[in-house]
Amino acid sequence: MNIEAAISAFLDHAANEAGLSDATLDAYRRDLERFVGWCNEHELHDPARLGSSDVRSFAAAEHRRGLSPRSVQRRLSGLRRFFRYLRREGIVSDDPGRGVRAPKVRPKLPEVLDIDQVLALLDIPQEDELAQRDRAMLELFYASGLRVSELANLTWDRIDMNEGLVRVLGKGRRERLVPVGRHALKALTQWRRIHATVAGTDQPRIFTSLKGRPLGVRAIQKRVAYWSQRQGLDQRVHPHQLRHSFASHILESSGDLRAVQELLGHANLATTQIYTHLDFQHLAKVYDETHPRAKKKG
Measured in whole angstroms, the distance separating CA 208 from the mean position of its chain's CA atoms is 27
In a domain, 108, yes or no: no
| CA angle, 4 then 59 then 271, to 5° | 135
Q: According to the model, what pLDDT value does residue 293 have?
A: 46
Q: Which domain holds residue 77?
A: 3-88
pLDDT for the residue numbered 158: 95
Whether 265 is covered by a domain: the verdict is: yes
55 and 162 belong to one structural domain: no
The pLDDT of residue 297 is: 46
- SS3 state of residue 179: strand
What is the C-alpha separation between 16 and 115, in angstroms, rounded?
57
Residue 139, helix vs strand vs coil:
helix
Task: Name the residue type at position 53.
Answer: S
Q: Which of 72, 88, 104 is the last residue before a domain boundary? A: 88
Q: Is 177 found in the same domain as 216?
A: yes
In a domain, 285, yes or no: yes
184 shares a domain with 129? yes
Report if residue 97 sits inside a domain: no
pLDDT digits (tens, 9 = 90+) for 153-207: 999 999 999 999 999 888 878 888 888 989 999 999 999 999 999 998 889 999 9
Distance of alpha carbon 104 from alpha carbon 258, whole angstroms: 26
How many domains does the chain contain in total? 2
Low-confidence ranges of the chain (pLDDT < 50): 283, 286-287, 291, 293, 297-298
Check which CATH number belongs to the domain holding 48 and give it.
1.10.150.130
User: What is the set of active-site residues?
Assistant: 147, 171, 240, 243, 266, 275
**Domain identity same for 62 and 155:** no
Q: Which residues of 277-292 are buried (b: 16+ CB within 10 A; e: fewer)?
A: ebbeeeeeeeeeeeee
* Within-domain flag for 216: yes
Q: Assess if residue 95 is contained within a domain.
A: no
Tell me the CATH number at 136: 1.10.443.10
The tens digit of pLDDT for each residue in 193-235 reads 999 999 988 899 999 999 999 999 999 999 999 999 999 998 8
- 278 and 154, same structural domain? yes
Angstrom distance (rounded) from CA 209 to CA 220: 10
Determine, yes or no, domain membership for 20: yes
Helix or strand (DSSP H, E) at 78: helix 69-88
Are 122 and 204 contained in the same domain? Answer: yes
Short-list 111, 101, 75, 62, CA closest to 277: 111
Based on the fold, state whether residues 134 and 253 are members of the same structural domain: yes
Same domain, yes or no: 132 and 266? yes
Task: Report yes or no on 63 lying in a domain.
Answer: yes
